[in-house]
């Protein structure tokens, strides 16, 4: 446990030290977010590429820790590097969505090649007290890709307010860290601890008023790492597991992207068309400040993370029931507050 504290402190220091350097680099190469439409909340140009500080902090600490790199760690590092290259190109040159998708799929495939994949799921219909695992055969490849690409994009989509995506990712990382420790998945716990530290070192620069944005470089990186480490820390658990656990742990980005897809479908809009209907937009429309909206979403993320931890300690059937109840409550709240209404 002491090693985890040391790794967290090291990653915090590296990330905090690198962020000002990355900021100067972003300004030098003109990788800057200039507000061009009404979906952007900030009013002045802000440097991008903050994700590079998180990336290098994570990579340096992982490589420098005691012991050789495991096969899973190599796959995660390679995948993270692919994601960062794609994110950097998007922040600098604004590449097309299909090009970003290719980078994301390539990163997900690197995980599969190195053994980080979803190979089985828990049968929710097994007899009480018995957790029966269902092998999914070759479906593990597309299922892993869908999970990784989905979470990568989901976290990217909530990166709309200062400190929002980074803070939610930090809370999700802490949740997965606790779950990994409960499952005695030490390798996953180490990676999650380093990730949490890397985020925490960057967050003071990104919280409102932000002096630097993560950009696609950072938002996609955090989504990818959370998706990958959740496979190692929760989905590969030797204990009772239900898909409810990572879904709850990564609740905010997952539910936000699902509600966005439903909203656009109901209103006859293309599913990939951007709008101002995301949760953070609606909170601002209700009169909240950026900080207030972000703190509320932090609290929601923490509550969902708590449910994920509870789900680890109950039967598979009960964990699925808990997930269903949470989804029903969130849908009712979303409907009540007009989250399914289209807004340009």
Dihedrals phi, psi of 96, to nearest 5 degrees: -75, 155
Residue 39's pLDDT band (cuts 50, 70, 90): low
Between residues 174 and 246, the one the model is more confident about = 174
pLDDT higher than threshold 80 for residue 90: yes
What's the mean pLDDT when you consider all of the chain? 86
pLDDT higher than threshold 70 for residue 131: no
pLDDT cut 70: percent of the chain above it? 87
pLDDT higher than threshold 70 for residue 284: yes
pLDDT higher than threshold 50 for residue 333: yes
CA distance 320 to 330: 15
State which H helix or E strand residue 255 sits in.
helix 251-266
pLDDT the model gives residue 42: 65
Residue from 115, 129, 118, 230 nearest 179 by CA: 230
pLDDT cut 90: percent of the chain above it? 48
pLDDT higher than threshold 70 for residue 125: no
pLDDT the model gives residue 258: 83
pLDDT the model gives residue 232: 79
Name the pTM for this structure.
0.89
Any residues with CB less than 8 A from the CB of 143 and at least 6 apart, and which?
118, 136
Tokens of 245: 């656990």
| 216 assigned binding-site residue | yes
| 37 assigned binding-site residue | no
State which H helix or E strand residue 133 sits in.
strand 133-135
Between residues 8 and 260, the one the model is more confident about = 8
pLDDT the model gives residue 239: 40
pLDDT in tens, 202-247: 999 999 899 999 999 999 999 999 999 988 765 555 343 456 677 7
State which H helix or E strand residue 152 sits in.
helix 140-157
Average pLDDT over residues 136-155: 90
pLDDT the model gives residue 331: 82
Among 31-45, 276-290, 319-333, which stretch is predicted with the lowest mean pLDDT? 31-45
Tell the burial category of 302 from Cβ atoms under 10 Å away from its Cβ (0-12, 13-18, 19+): middle
pLDDT in tens, 309-329: 888 887 777 777 888 888 888
Residue in the block written with tokens 């009169």: 287
Long-range contacts of range 206-211, CB-CB < 8 Å, 24 or more positions apart? 206/50, 206/162, 206/163, 206/166, 207/162, 207/163, 207/167, 207/294, 208/161, 208/162, 208/163, 208/290, 208/291, 208/294, 209/162, 210/42, 210/46, 210/162, 210/163, 211/23, 211/46, 211/47
């Amino acid at each position: 446990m002491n090693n985890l504290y040391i790794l967290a402190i090291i990653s915090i220091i590296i990330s905090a030290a690198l962020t000002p350097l990355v900021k100067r680099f972003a300004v030098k190469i003109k990788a800057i977010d200039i507000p061009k439409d009404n979906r952007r909340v900030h009013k002045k140009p802000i440097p991008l590429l903050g994700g590079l500080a998180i990336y290098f902090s994570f990579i340096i600490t992982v490589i420098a820790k005691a012991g050789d790199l495991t096969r899973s760690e190599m796959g995660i590092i390679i995948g993270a590097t692919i994601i960062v290259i794609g994110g950097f190109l998007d922040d600098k040159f604004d590449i097309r969505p299909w090009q970003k998708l290719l980078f994301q799929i390539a990163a997900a495939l690197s995980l599969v090649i190195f053994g980080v994949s979803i190979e089985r799921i828990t049968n929710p219909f097994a007899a009480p007290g018995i957790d029966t695992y269902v092998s999914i055969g070759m479906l593990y490849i597309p299922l892993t890709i869908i999970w990784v690409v989905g979470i990568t994009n989901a976290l990217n989509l909530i990166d709309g307010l200062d400190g929002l995506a980074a803070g939610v990712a930090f809370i999700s990382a802490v949740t997965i860290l606790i779950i990994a420790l409960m499952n005695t998945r030490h390798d996953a716990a180490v990676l999650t601890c380093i990730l949490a530290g890397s985020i925490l070192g960057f967050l003071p620069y990104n919280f409102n008023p932000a002096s630097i944005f993560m950009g696609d470089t950072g938002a996609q990186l955090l989504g990818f790492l959370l998706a990958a480490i959740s496979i190692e820390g929760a989905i590969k658990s030797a204990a009772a597991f239900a898909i409810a656990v990572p879904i709850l742990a990564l609740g905010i980005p997952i539910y936000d992207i699902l509600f966005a897809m439903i909203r656009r479908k109901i209103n006859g809009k293309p599913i990939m068309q951007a709008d101002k209907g995301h949760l953070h937009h609606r909170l601002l429309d209700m009169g909240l400040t950026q900080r207030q909206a972000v703190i509320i979403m932090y609290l929601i993320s923490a509550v969902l993370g708590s449910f994920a931890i509870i789900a680890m300690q109950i039967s598979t059937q009960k964990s699925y029931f808990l997930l269903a109840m949470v989804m029903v409550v969130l849908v009712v709240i979303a409907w009540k507050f007009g989250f399914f209404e289209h807004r340009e």
